[in-house]
Structure 1
Amino acid sequence: MDIDKLLEDIFNDDVSLDLKALFEEKIVEYGVTKTRALKLLNVDKDVFEDIINGTAKQPNLIHVVKIAEFLEINVDDFIQMVLKNQNTENIASIDRARKVRFLMKNFDVKALTKLGFFDNTDDIDELVERVLHYFGYDSIRQFEEELVTPLYSRTKRQFSDKMKDFWVRSAYQTFRLIDNTNGYDRERLKDVIVNMKPYSQDVKNGLYTVCRALYNVGVTVIFQNYLTTTHVRGATFIINNKPCVVLTDNQKKYPTIWFTLLHELHHVLFDYDAIKTNSYHLSDDEDLFLIEEKANSFARDYFMPRANFDYIKTYIKNDYMVEQFAKENEIHKSLVYSFYTWYQQELYNKNYYAAFKEYYPDYKPAIAKLNPITWDEDTVREASEKIKAVFEIN
């Protein structure tokens, strides 16, 4: 049953039927008295009157079905007629149930409250209004009609799925509103990728400069704060035939952001058609449909291929040698330590993840100019306008 349509029809004065008159017509047609008809239906007279008059606070479903059958009316239509006679308090309770269903189905309210997206309130109207206002929708129906079809689907959706859906919808709306007017040029993208490595050395402005260059070749890159339990490092969308990339701070490490950017750009270059068919791709998602290792290898080989690791591993504790090695390879030295750590784990099963922390710069200055989307933003539209302004500065 479409509850939205049901509620609309309840308040539609054009939809009207006199149930009492219809009942009188039926007992005349069947040649029985009202008392006899109700006895055969096993419906108490007072109960019948309450249902017909709309005064029953909680009409018994079995009685409703029996009366609808007697009157030869479709049950859904009869329910609509019964509800049309209900008092405003009962109708409001139906509307509340619809809103509760909408929130519980689509959002992890507890987690989003903890993040600051929702205020700490149990007011259903306020919670629904917050969602609709943030995404820019006028109604629950509009929200649900414009949803992006998720890549993952299960019979029972876990809380993490709801958080992923929220993250995806936020990114999708942001890209749709930014609406990059530059045409996607794959060959020019290759040129940007070839020349972007040195910018990793500039912590404050490097990522910003590269993202502006990508925007000019039709690839929009935004940054969204990581959402707990999603396990999503980044994502690639195809919207209006243009690639769009989302980065997160799920590991809160400067080298990881650059690695993720190259990883996603590999998907743009080589998995464009597959992503276009599926609307988007979440990297590190547990339900992958693309081969992630190819994208990982692409990013590793770009910054620090195996041969470079074999060379620098002997000198890794010599800060001067690592500094010179990083300069020669045109990368920030934190990437040297980050990839060294990965190779040690992968090749020798040695854990160095707690080492070299002093060489990792704070990642926040790198993303500051990109106006990262946080979950206390007022609306996606406002966030999108700030991001668009950054990319279109002359």
Structure 2
Amino acid sequence: MTDLQLKKSLLSCPGDTIQEHIDAIGMSQAELAERLGRSVPKLNELIKGKAPITKDTAIKLEYVLGVPASFWLNLERQYQDELLEIEQMEELEQCQEWVSAFPLPAMKKLGIIPNTRDKTELAGSLLKYFRVASPVQWSDIYVGSSLAFKIELRHTAEPQAISVWLRLGELQAENIKVATFDKKALRNQLETFKEIAYNHSEDWLEQLQTVCASCGVALVYTPCIAKAPIYGATRWIKNNSIPLLQITDRQKDYNAFWFTFFHELAHILYHGKKEIFIEGIDSITPDKEKEDEADAFASRMLLSEKERNELFQYPDYDIELVLHLSKKFKKHPGIIVAQLQREGFVEYKDFKMNRLKVKVAFNEEVIQH
């Protein structure tokens, strides 16, 4: 027997208690109706739970049956609460197929939903997570045309996983206090961002987040979720007042992280508030001109044209040269190695060079920061 079936079997309306009292004192429903000043059909509705016990009825029951009015009102309140819980469980049972489409193991690991197999409990958690009343509203927002979400995910292979990742970023942003957005201030911090990337302090993620917040940008680090092949995303939240820059750890690579960061930053600096940019999903048709502009900006932030020309002029590369150029350019050696590998100057399997690279991986702890 399921929890829902058990609750239904144990459900008892206040009318059952009324019937027990009149049976105990040897009174018929017809007599009780007469003493209450009600018709027999109306009393029968009360006995069967089809009509509620009102304050007036409770007072009359106290006079006739000698049981306090407060007892009857509390009994009615308890019955209505139980009835509401059963109705909610019935609605959530209808959501089981919808629930199954989400990446439940990943969501449990990140603490997004409770670690349970109860689909009704999971359904309730998902509805609260997305702030929707039912799967219909979730579909309207994330799959259909919506005022709340400007990109339709209907053409993506896994809209559920993608919506989970995007929603998680919004929840993370709620934990960040940001100043009023200031585009000029953000531009003035570009050199600071480069310094953070070069120095790679132990708290570099926190430093980057703090500087962004001081300019009015909510920067969040969202762990990669299976079936959501996203590198990063940018959109404006809170009635288009706060730019949200959301980065994943999909490639686990320092160079990839910073390229994504500067790419998304370009969307904030150069493109409109009403647009959403999601990088990594081919089925979401990007604005090629804007994406190319963001790519070019990110490339310049990682290495200037002059630095690239110098970097790629050598006939051979070793660790000593990379460290020399790193110090000269003030660019992290891991970024230089990654750039050399991209251009084919260094093999991806070069063990010694790869030791200069930095792994970037988020876990459930970053959700709280």
Structure 2 CA distance for partners of 1:173 and 1:142, relative to 1, 3 Å: farther
Letter in 2 for 1:325: L
Greater relative contact order structure (CA < 8 Å, 6+ sep):
1
Percent of pairs with identical residues: 18
Q: Report the CA distance between 1:230 and its aligned residue.
A: 1.6
Conserved? CA contact 1:223–1:371, under 8 Å: no
Q: Determine the structure 1 residue equivalent to 2:121.
A: 126
The reply to whether residue 200 of structure 1 matches residue 197 of structure 2 is: yes
Q: Determine the structure 1 residue equivalent to 2:286.
A: 289
RMSD over equivalenced CA pairs, Å:
3.7
Q: For the residues of structure 1 that align with 2:208 and 2:92, how far apart are their CA atoms?
A: 48
Q: Determine the structure 2 residue equivalent to 1:253.
A: 253
Q: TM-score, normalised by structure 2?
A: 0.63
Counterpart secondary structure, 1:238: strand
Larger radius of gyration: 2
Q: Determine the structure 1 residue equivalent to 2:340.
A: 340
The reply to whether residue 243 of structure 1 matches residue 243 of structure 2 is: yes
Q: For the residues of structure 2 that align with 1:301 and 1:212, how far apart are their CA atoms?
A: 23
Counterpart secondary structure, 2:252: coil
Q: For the residues of structure 2 that align with 1:304 and 1:316, how far apart are their CA atoms?
A: 19
Counterpart secondary structure, 2:246: strand
The CA deviation string for residues 260-313 of structure 1, in whole angstroms up to 9 with x for no partner, is: 111111111011x1xx324x3212222133332221221112222454334223
Q: For the residues of structure 2 that align with 1:295 and 1:229, how far apart are their CA atoms?
A: 25
Structure 2 CA distance for partners of 1:185 and 1:297, relative to 1, 3 Å: same
Counterpart secondary structure, 1:229: coil
Q: Determine the structure 2 residue equivalent to 1:178.
A: 175
Counterpart secondary structure, 1:236: strand
Matches within 5 A, 1:144-163: 144=138, 148-149=148-149, 151-154=151-154, 158=157, 160-163=158-161
Structure 2 CA distance for partners of 1:132 and 1:256, relative to 1, 3 Å: same
Matches within 5 A, 1:35-74: none
Matches within 5 A, 1:1-394: 94-104=90-100, 107-109=102-104, 112=107, 121-132=116-127, 135=129, 137=131, 140=134, 144=138, 148-149=148-149, 151-154=151-154, 158=157, 160-175=158-173, 177-178=174-175, 180-203=177-200, 204-240=202-238, 241-271=241-271, 273=272, 276-278=273-275, 280-286=276-282, 287-291=284-288, 292-313=291-312, 314=314, 317-344=317-344, 352-355=347-350, 356-364=353-361, 371-373=365-367, 383=368, 387=369
Letter in 2 for 1:216: S
Structure 2 CA distance for partners of 1:181 and 1:112, relative to 1, 3 Å: closer
Q: Report the CA distance between 1:341 and its aligned residue.
A: 1.8
Counterpart secondary structure, 2:334: helix
Structure 2 CA distance for partners of 1:246 and 1:252, relative to 1, 3 Å: same
Q: For the residues of structure 2 that align with 1:251 and 1:211, how far apart are their CA atoms?
A: 20
Q: Determine the structure 2 residue equivalent to 1:69.
A: none
Letter in 1 for 2:191: V
Conserved? CA contact 1:219–1:245, under 8 Å: yes
Q: For the residues of structure 2 that align with 1:330 and 1:216, how far apart are their CA atoms?
A: 24
Q: For the residues of structure 2 that align with 1:197 and 1:315, how far apart are their CA atoms?
A: 27
Structure 2 CA distance for partners of 1:216 and 1:114, relative to 1, 3 Å: closer
Q: For the residues of structure 2 that align with 1:129 and 1:311, how far apart are their CA atoms?
A: 58
The CA deviation string for residues 114-170 of structure 1, in whole angstroms up to 9 with x for no partner, is: 87755675422221233346x285954897488742513437x63x22100111112
Counterpart secondary structure, 2:95: helix
Instruction: List gaps (5 residues or longer) in structure 2.
Output: 1-12, 14-82, 143-147
Conserved? CA contact 2:254–2:360, under 8 Å: yes
Q: For the residues of structure 2 that align with 1:215 and 1:120, how far apart are their CA atoms?
A: 33
Counterpart secondary structure, 1:237: strand
Q: For the residues of structure 2 that align with 1:194 and 1:92, how far apart are their CA atoms?
A: 54
Structure 2 CA distance for partners of 1:146 and 1:178, relative to 1, 3 Å: farther
Counterpart secondary structure, 2:347: coil
Conserved? CA contact 2:340–2:346, under 8 Å: no
Q: For the residues of structure 2 that align with 1:138 and 1:266, how far apart are their CA atoms?
A: 32
Structure 2 CA distance for partners of 1:99 and 1:298, relative to 1, 3 Å: same
Counterpart secondary structure, 1:372: helix
Counterpart secondary structure, 2:233: strand
The CA deviation string for residues 71-110 of structure 1, in whole angstroms up to 9 with x for no partner, is: xxxxxxxxxxxxxxxx99x9788524422254256x2446
Structure 2 CA distance for partners of 1:257 and 1:91, relative to 1, 3 Å: closer
Q: TM-score, normalised by structure 1?
A: 0.59
